[in-house]
Structure 1
Amino acid sequence: MRSLETLKELVATITDWKSLKKMVCKPFKPCILHLAISQHVTQLYSEEELVQLNNFRKLHSSVESKSKTKNTDQRVTGKRQIEGMPKEERPMPAVIKKPKKIILMQNNQTPDLPAEIKNRVTELNGHDIKFLMHKKLFCSDVKPNSNRLSMPINEIMCEFLTEAEIAKLDERDDTNGKGRLVGVEVTVLDPCMREFILPLKKWSMQRTDTYNLVKNWNSIVSANKFEEDQELQIWSFRVDNKLYLLLNKL
């Protein structure tokens, strides 16, 4: 179908409706196209045709209005019907599930540790080395009044705790189960291979549970001048059965 601009060009030389009549063989019948043209080139239509077009416009607007009202009434009626139903019989609303965060390693390979770090682990008779996660420090990880490093469990690449350690993370320091979490004592090696003793605790957050290194974390931040957006690799290993965490600064 030709555009309205094309039609305007075709009738540009016609200055009155009588001239147009001579070019039209069929009797006049109002339509959407005539409505559009009459908005811009009124002189192409007689008074009788303009009246017909005006009536057609009113009729068309009335049909559209009734259709919208009907759809609205149907939605309201449907909502009232659902609200009047017992809760157990109401249809479940559609739920849009958020895609799960998937962490992919390039070529599914564990990153390499620098030679000096491997040597330090060997000196400690360390074993069972595991890559846990790539951590980008947030503001809350380096703020002095927070004093903790968060490690969301859904971002950790593998299980690194024993069953006994997992159970201890849920223990509290009183018998009624409402006291402070006990946590698991961990030795942390900072990027300079200095040792710090910190408690590892599990906190239940809104989106996911997190492991947190607490209490002495500020000392590590200060000693290494960690800042927001600093990137770390976090590893675990064991000396005998004792848990160590290792921070590799990128």
Structure 2
Amino acid sequence: MEQKRESDEKNSEIELEAKMKMKNSRNQRGPELPIEVVKKIKEIERGEVDQSKILVIRKPLSSYDLNKSDDCFFIPPAEMLNGDFLNRDERVLLLTEQLPHLCVELIDTKLESHSVRLIPWYKPGYVVTKGWNFVVSSNKLEKGQILELWALRVEKRLWFVLRDVTRK
């Protein structure tokens, strides 16, 4: 049983690496993912978590998350698993700017990168917007699908990784 689990984990890691290489070889929207981002995504898949990888939220998609006119993935404060994913400078920026937002690269469930914005929403909640609709349509996301949003730190830069954890 232990051998089968190790084999499944190795296959999952190999499959993830193959997907990364395939996405990067297409070079669809810009440069390849930094190798550190790829390593951290693999570590998340293996369940290896440290302070550079923070699970922000795990939630089923609602009709609000899929509403095209909103273009938002809602991160309500009551559902946040870890509200401490922003560094001090990012928190200050979101509190002091007239039109506060952070530009973040989001790696979707198909391992493609999308530029999105993170904006405050009903403090201390947030929304991911300005590009979310494209993530929804390109990943064929559906109501009830359970997603995790991870925040990664690579070279002092914030990245988001979206994982589908819906039981199949």
TM-score by structure 1 length? Answer: 0.46
Please state if 1:160 is matched with 2:160. Answer: no
CA separation of 1:192/1:155 partners in 2, compared to 1, >3 Å: closer, same or farther? same
Structure 1, unmatched stretches of 5+, are 1-111, 174-180
- The answer for the alignment partner of 1:184 in structure 2 is 102
Structure 2, unmatched stretches of 5+, are 1-8, 21-32, 41-51
Task: Return the match for 1:129 from 20, 42, 53.
Answer: 53
Identity %, equivalent residues: 24
Q: Give the number of the structure whose residues are more often helix, by fraction.
A: 1
- The answer for the alignment partner of 1:143 in structure 2 is 67
Find the residue that maps to 2:78 and give its secondary structure: helix
Find the residue that maps to 2:144 and give its secondary structure: coil
Matches within 5 A, 1:56-205: 115=13, 116=16, 124-126=35-37, 128-158=52-82, 159-173=84-98, 181-204=99-122
Q: Which has the larger radius of gyration?
A: 1
- The answer for the alignment partner of 1:247 in structure 2 is 162
- The answer for the alignment partner of 1:24 in structure 2 is none
- The answer for the alignment partner of 1:238 in structure 2 is 153
* CA offset digits 1:137-193 (Å, max 9, x no partner): 1101001101000011232222111011111112333xxxxxxx2211111000011
Q: Give the number of the structure whose residues are more often strand, by fraction.
A: 2
TM-score by structure 2 length? Answer: 0.67
Superposition RMSD on alpha carbons, in Å? 2.3
Q: How far 1:200 sits from its partner (Å)?
A: 0.3
Q: How many residues align?
A: 126
